[in-house]
Amino acid sequence: MTYVPNPQRYQDMEYRRCGSSGLKLPAVSLGLWHNFGAIDSLENARNILRLAFDSGITHFDLANNYGPPPGSAEETFGRIFKDDFKAYRDELIISTKAGWPMWEGPYGDLGSKKYLVASLDQSLKRLGLDYVDIFYHHRPDPETPLEETMGALDLIVRQGKALYVGISSYSASETEKAIQILKELGTPCLIHQPKYSMFDRWVEGGLLDVLGDKGVGCIPFSPLAQGLLTNKYLNGIPKDSRAAEHRGNGAMEEDQITPDKIARVSKLNDLALQRGQNLAQMALSWILRDSRITSVLIGVSKPAQVTDSIGCLQNLKFTEEELTLINNILS
């Protein structure tokens, strides 16, 4: 059956300006890190993507190595895009990245111009696209001059293969240097994608201040600590969870779920219920409460989780008492 998007899809989603740019992103974006690989159900992936777009999520985030196996998430998305979303390309923000190992030999990893340009060419073929909206350098490369890596991002924009560029997992000082180099090249840094959740707050140690001061957007990944900040693990480790499956590729491992963390999660869950939210919704709201955050990346394994996550937008305000209680629970 031909896919026809929900005509009311833009009514309930919040869209936020990305830093000082002209681009707006949905407050909730969909990441394809997990559950879109060749080992996963194509039908389920299609249903997730359709519901996301029907709900006003216009931004789909990928990387060259997403799968498993690496590259297969882009292939899955490309297949679904061709069937369902090609007519709506101008309504979509599609991003991908390079920076982690992708192919054998010295040119398939890190941050050289050779790797970044070749990787994006491969990604575009898998995606079936002429360009991506955002291309990221996925992680810092201590062995390559930052000028070369940022120069590659500038080149990619000038070649028309990406409209905007960003960086991921750079420290505050590395970010400040990258922003300056890109500014001098004439291709501004649009956005930074850091890992950020209630259990991983490193961005509060200077990175968010840099992004706010420089007018660069921020889109955190792993906001639910790979499922820990949900009700999934309150009563142990479910057999169908990422932790139980040992999927690798950055997924939650069983030994990360400690009794101490579960105790904290339980207290956070109690507060979420008092706020009229479930724990996942509160964890997303807690990140989005900061005006320096452009969007938050969710990862889902089933369509219902898309709707549930978007529910966070109904209550983004926290009292000082609530924030103090959260800090006390986490400290």
Is the sign of the CA dihedral 294, 298, 303, 308 positive or negative? negative
160: left (phi over 0), alpha (psi -120 to 50) or beta: left
Residue 272: its pLDDT value, please?
98
As a whole number, the mean pLDDT across the chain is: 95
Q: What percent of the chain has pLDDT over 70?
A: 94
Query: CA–CA separation, 74 vs 66, rounded Å?
Result: 7
* 89, part of any domain: yes
Model confidence over 13-37: pLDDT tens digits?
999 999 999 999 999 999 999 999 9
* 272, part of any domain: no
The total domain count for the chain is 1
DSSP 193: E
* 176, part of any domain: yes
Query: CA–CA separation, 232 vs 267, rounded Å?
Result: 14
CATH code of the domain covering residue 138? 3.20.20.100
Residue 250: its pLDDT value, please?
57
CA distances, 119 to each of 72, 77, 88, 100, 317 (Å): 14, 17, 25, 10, 41
* 264, part of any domain: no
Q: Which domain holds residue 66?
A: 15-257+286-314
Instruction: Provide the whole-model pTM.
Output: 0.94
Model confidence over 207-254: pLDDT tens digits?
999 999 999 999 999 999 999 999 988 886 766 665 555 555 555 566
Q: Is the pLDDT of residue 107 over 90?
A: yes
